[in-house]
Structure formats: C-alpha cells, structure tokens
Amino acid sequence: MFLRLTAVLFAVLTPVWADNASDCAGLPTAGDLRTNLANAPNFQGNAGGIFGGNNMWAAVVNRDGKLCAIVTSTSDPKQVWPGSQAIAKAKAYTANAFSVDALALSTARLYTFTQPGHSLWSLGQSNLFNPQFLAPISGGTDQTGQIAGGLIFFGGGVPLYKNGKVIGGLGISGDTSCTDHEIAKRLRTLLSLNPPGGQAVDDIVFTVPDGPSPFAHPLCLNTYRNGVFMGTETNAPIY
C-alpha cells in the first residue's frame, strides 16, 4: 500500500515540479546569483554606498512575476538588512512589470514619474507586496513559484533579457538605492542578460551632471556610477 501510494504521489507531483522548473528556464539559479553577486562589488570599480555593495539580497522573477531565486551575498543572511528581502523581490517584480522588448526600464528610471505632482504618482498603490511570501531570514523554505508583487520606484531593479526579449527581472537591496542599482547593473552584465541596447541603456540618471530629466534619480550617500564618484546626498536641514 505504501509503495503504491508513493508511486501515485510521484506521478502526480512530478509534472508540477517540471512545470516550476520550466517557468524559470533561462533565468539565473540561486547558485548563479550567489557566485556573481560576490564578484559584482569589485567589477567595474567602486560601487559606493554604505557597505560597498557587499551586503545584498538578490531576487529574480520570471516574465509572469513568479519568484525563481532569492539569495544573500553573505553566508549568514542575518548580516543583510532583513527588510531588504521584500524590497529585492518587489524591485525584481517592478523592473519586469514595466519593461518590454523595445524598452528596458530600471526601477531607478521610474523615480521621478512616481513623485507627487508627476504623471505616475500613486502607482505604488496598484499592486502591494504580499508579506505572506517572505522566507525566514535564517534560511529554509522559500516561496519560489509564488508572486509576491510589490512596486518599488528607486534604484536596484533591472529587467533581464535574452536574445533581445525580456525574460524577467532582477532586484537588489541591502545598501543605498544608488549602490543597489550599480550592483544590479553589474550583476546583470556578469550574467550576460543585458537588454539589446547594452548595460547602460536603462542606467541611473542624475540631474548633475546629466541635466534635468523625467528619468532622474536623486544622489545617494557616497554615490558612484560605473566606478566614477558622482557626489553625495544633500545634508538635511535642521528639523
């Protein structure tokens, strides 16, 4: 009886496992992410920020927005900001959700559009993150194959492309939003999943030195772009 039941369960469940695997075909595995995430901070110069891009969550979703992989750059996940797990997943979801074959849109490029007084203000309320799909910080069972949702409109999310087609999104979180974008951009390049226009086609844009732009993103603390120091966030006035 036990053997027959086992055989039935195997027959029923095997197609489901195969479907889940095919959902993420062509996308980076957790191992791919972890290996290249370790190399990204020293690839193409200083990444800036608080930790130099060394304390990161990385998440990948497929074209349907389903989570395919989630890792941290540290062996101990508790040494990366716990809140960044949800942010990384939401950035991956956002970059995929608003990119098409003809236009790659990083989350950094959505910043200005979604501020008060701009044309996409309140967009973030349209698809809220579902905290049910958070994994324990210490590791263990993850919610791969699920759609966590969530929309984030600052640096750290980039769409992923293969053969000129968008196939999903990558989200990075664990440092300043500018450094998150820098690591996401580098990691996408290391994974050979850049858009047709190349690594910089959806790069982060700053008013100084790039000039006013609807795609502009504010400077962060200790901001670097492509290894070049861009400046730092303006000190706050006295409150």
Give the pLDDT of the chain (239 residues) as one tens digit per residue: 333 433 333 333 333 222 345 699 999 999 999 999 999 999 999 999 999 999 999 999 999 999 999 999 998 999 999 999 999 999 999 999 999 999 999 999 999 999 999 999 999 999 999 999 898 887 666 678 899 999 999 999 999 999 999 999 999 999 999 999 999 999 999 999 999 999 999 999 999 999 999 999 999 999 999 999 999 999 988 87
What are the boundaries of each domain within the chain?
27-231
* Contact yes or no for 188/194 (Cβ under 8 A): yes
Instruction: For residues 109 and 216, give the distance between their C-alpha atoms in angstroms, rounded to a whole number.
Output: 6
Q: Which residues contact 8 (CB under 8 A, 6 or more apart)?
A: none
d(CA 195, CA 208) in angstroms, rounded, equals: 25
Using CA of residue 38, residue 40, residue 42, residue 46, what is the dihedral sign?
Answer: negative
Pairing state of beta strands 57-62 and 67-72? antiparallel
Question: 220 is written with which tokens?
Answer: 């962060």
pLDDT of residue 144: 84
Instruction: Report how far residue 196's alpha carbon sits from residue 161's, in angstroms, rounded to the nearest whole number.
Output: 8
Q: At what angle do helices 177-190 and 30-39 cross, to 10 degrees?
A: 110
CATH number for 27-231: choose from 3.40.50.150, 1.10.10.10, 3.40.640.10, 3.30.450.150: 3.30.450.150
Partner residues linked to 157 by β-bridges? 171
* pLDDT value of residue 10: 34
Indicate the residue type of 78: K
